[in-house]
């Protein structure tokens, strides 16, 4: 895959043209407060699996409007000490998976909360959380569901679920209250939202994030999921302004300016799914302490296991 986006140093200096809505903070403060008003107790039930070195729990936590959101909670087996928890969000179309699918965070000695994404989990890994809310007509997929109004938008619900999962992680059995949020692609967008909107997040791992500098991404790539947006607007020719207004409330390059915890980003410089300039737009807007690893010859897979090794080192420094 050839280089197709801006050349350095313009790439590394790129910032978004998306303007934060005047009521952005009020919108999200009201959304989270409303969700907390419907909050239900977190259920955490032990699960027996074939992994003898991992203790696992089937978790149900309250999400947007009190809707149940499923997750797995994994800990090193037999460890009685309280541990930090890495909250892991899923890429587009994926769910929490099977109980035996365990991240390296657990092998490193931390807890991990593997969170479903509502309505997803049927593209590449199974999920178990429905989205009980309907929407106006939308293009197949999730990107345009409810896009005519920010209050009805799918990602308002998904971001709120991510925020409440980060809050719930502090209170899980054996948790010490320290929470790091993590994800790639869509999961990176959810981690960004949690870092910006949830209280008490200690750090964020944000890999090749989706939903950043969205109008530019839609102009640069015809890959999915951004192709859902252009496909929708090609049909609904009168909805362009309304769609961009809704997306501005959910754009990671806008929300990054509200995130203050330390963050480690990654970007694939040949990524045609989430173009690298859109990742740099979010990175450059991020106000907390930050680092980024660029993988020049990689696409949407980013740094893979090489970057995971760097993440483990970074987390060890952060968590001790």
Catalytically active residues, by annotation: 185, 271, 300
CA distances from 71 to 75, 89, 255, 293 (A): 13, 10, 25, 29
Whole-angstrom Cα distance, residue 61 to residue 265?
Answer: 27
Whole-angstrom Cα distance, residue 131 to residue 119?
Answer: 5
Q: Residue 21 class from Cβ within 10 Å (0-12 exposed, 13-18 middle, 19+ buried)?
A: middle
Q: With CA atoms as reference, report the closest residue to 193 among 264, 253, 103.
A: 253
Residue 30, token pair as written in the block: 């009201």
Whole-angstrom Cα distance, residue 186 to residue 57?
Answer: 24
Q: Residue 91 class from Cβ within 10 Å (0-12 exposed, 13-18 middle, 19+ buried)?
A: buried
């Amino acid at each position: 895959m050839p280089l197709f986006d801006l050349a350095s140093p313009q790439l590394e200096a790129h910032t978004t043209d998306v303007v934060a809505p005047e009521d952005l903070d009020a919108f999200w403060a009201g959304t989270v407060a409303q969700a907390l008003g419907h909050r239900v107790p977190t259920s955490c039930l032990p699960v027996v699996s074939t992994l003898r070195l991992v203790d696992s729990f089937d978790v149900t936590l309250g999400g947007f409007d009190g809707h149940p959101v499923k997750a797995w909670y994994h800990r090193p087996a037999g460890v009685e000490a309280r541990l930090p928890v890495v909250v892991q969000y899923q890429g587009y179309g994926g769910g929490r998976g099977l109980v035996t699918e365990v991240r390296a965070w657990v092998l490193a000695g931390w807890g991990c909360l593997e969170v479903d994404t509502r309505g997803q989990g049927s593209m590449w890994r199974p999920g178990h959380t429905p989205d009980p809310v309907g929407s106006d007509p939308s293009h197949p997929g999730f990107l345009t569901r409810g896009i005519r109004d920010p209050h009805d938008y799918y990602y308002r619900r998904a971001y709120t679920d991510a925020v409440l999962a980060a809050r719930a992680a502090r209170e899980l059995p054996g948790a010490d209250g320290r929470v790091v949020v993590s994800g790639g692609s869509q999961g990176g967008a959810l981690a960004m939202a949690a870092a910006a909107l949830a209280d008490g997040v200690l750090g964020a791992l944000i890999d090749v994030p989706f939903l950043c500098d969205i109008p530019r991404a839609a102009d640069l790539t015809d890959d999915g999921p951004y192709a859902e947006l252009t496909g929708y607007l090609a049909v609904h020719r009168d909805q362009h302004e309304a769609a961009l207004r809704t997306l501005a409330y959910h754009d990671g390059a806008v929300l990054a300016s509200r995130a203050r915890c330390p963050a480690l980003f990654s970007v694939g410089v040949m990524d045609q799914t989430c173009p690298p300039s859109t990742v740099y737009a979010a990175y450059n807007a991020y106000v907390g302490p930050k680092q980024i690893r660029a993988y020049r010859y990689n696409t949407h897979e980013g740094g893979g296991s090489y970057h995971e090794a760097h993440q483990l080192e970074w987390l060890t420094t952060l968590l001790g």
